Amino acid sequence: MIYRPRSASDALSEPGIRALVLLLAVVSLYLVYGSLYFYRDPLSIFFSEEHGFDRFYSATRQAEADEFLDAIIANPDLAKWQLGKAGPNPLICSVFITVGRDMIGRQYIDSAVGSFLANMTRPERETMHLKLFFADVPNPDAQHRSYAKFAAADIADEVFTYNSTLPAEKKEDKIRELASFAKDRTNKHALERKTVFDYAYALDRCVQTTNAPYIAILEGDILLADGWAAKTLKNLQTIERMMKDPTRHDPEKGEIAPGGPNTWLYLRLFNQERSFGWSGGTGFKSNNVHVISVAVAVPLLIVLLLVRRQLPRHLARHLDGWTLFVVCGIEVPLFIWLFYASGKAALLGAPAGVHEEWFGCCNQALVYNRVHAKGLVDYMMTASRRVSPGRSDMLPKQFAWDHGLARISAYPMLAQHAGRVSAIDTSNDEAKRVWSMAFEDFKPYKLANEHIRDVQELFGNEAAGHMR
């Protein structure tokens, strides 16, 4: 008897080997696809540290915002002619909170204000009362390179500081106290006391000086998408309709499950993918992948065994033991693990529309319900007097929980965190990770068309006609 070594073709004639080769081919193609399209999801195994924070739409929007701001700074009459100011009964009082940062080039607040106004129509501007809060102490004129520019320009409805608005009898002591908090950036709790007070003070300024039913608190290092104002107004209309659902009930502490409370605290305009990804990580036991694999593989194995019994022998041989092992023992757990490890945001994204969510980061752009604004102001002012007050982005969440108030997000998110140089104790590396992957997917021409449509629905054909 002559021994003949098995060739590759002989090996491929085995069903189990063919199943394994097919699996390797499919997984290889998926790995290539994932590295090309999932590299921006920070919770994905495909995430690229080098390119994960590449700028696409935000670069376009910043250039547009900077160009517009430079134009209206150079020619203030352009802003008056094109936009005007807020009307006597604005719908949203918007406050940018900003402090000077040690950075090269223009301050973030320049691009932020530019993105607030760029491509805005006059009817939209009339619904928006714009305030700029320079929270530097003791002397914003010397501490913030953009203060003098905005103070002189007639762009915002109000530019204010602690020096210009604190009561005379409290001003000196309060500014001295706030300056001591801000002096040492390594003192986390002192910085928190300053940022919490800044946030509450900005919110209260809108309560005290306007009758707007909504109050937007915006960090000074964000970018807003084209058409953000009209879309936000439409989202607020959706929220008000949601709250009128007769199945909702008066709020109770902790009763914040979607569909429950009949009143709400804030609408989120920014969120990061890290906040709504799979919570378990990328390990095989994370997200109970091992349990799910067994739950899927065992029934599948039983079905395949039953099917094999019904097939003719020449077909049944393709479902031999090795093939069943590859399918149920390797493919099922591998594909389930890849589903979770690829990243929820990359694979599924967030469904478009207005949704109740009790999670999310951070407080870069939140629109508050005025009904609860004063209560939140008092809550945060009280917190700022504690040695360890908590963070300004966590306190509103706790307030909502304590009062049974809904927290709402609108997707796609309309704001991006553009800051790379932190104004607080956050490292610059961590600051860049507060990032919306989805914002970078916006297409300028699509946003422009949606903006026209939204303005037409809100303000009529004449307002939209001026945009064409």
Q: What is the pLDDT of residue 184?
A: 76
* Backbone φ and ψ of 211, nearest 5°: -110, 20
What's the pLDDT tens digit per position in 373-391?
Answer: 999 999 999 999 999 999 9
Average pLDDT, the chain: 90
SS (H, E, C) 182-244: HHCCCCHHHHHHHHHHHHHHHHHHHHHHCCCCEEEEEECCEEECCCHHHHHHHHHHHHHHHHC
Task: For 362, list phi and psi in degrees, rounded to 5.
Answer: -135, -140
Q: In this structure, what DSSP letter does residue 364 have?
A: S
Nearest Cα residue to 123 out of 95, 84, 94 = 84
At 427 the pLDDT is: 64
| Measured distance CA(363)–CA(276) in Å, rounded | 15
CA distance 450 to 457: 11
Q: For 230-265, how does the pLDDT look when each residue is reduced to its tens digit (9 = 90+)?
A: 999 999 999 999 999 999 989 988 877 788 889 999
**Choice among 109-118, 152-161, 281-290 with the minimum mean pLDDT:** 281-290
| Closest CA relative to residue 115, chosen from 224, 266, 234 | 224
pLDDT at 5 over 60: no
Phi and psi at 128, nearest 5°, equal -115, 115
Per-residue pLDDT tens over the stretch 407-431 = 999 999 999 999 877 766 666 667 7
pLDDT at 282 over 90: no
Cβ–Cβ < 8 Å for 416, 272: no
Residue 163 has pLDDT above 50, yes or no: yes
Give the pLDDT band of residue 1 (cuts 50, 70, 90): very low
Confidence class of residue 188 from pLDDT cuts 50, 70 and 90? confident
Q: What share of the chain has pLDDT > 70, as a percent?
A: 95
Q: How confident is the model at residue 458 (pLDDT cuts 50, 70, 90)?
A: very high
Q: What contacts 24+ positions apart, CB below 8 Å, involve 24-33?
A: 27/334, 27/338, 30/338
Res 313: pLDDT? 84
- Are 239 and 267 in contact by the 8 Å Cβ rule? The answer is yes
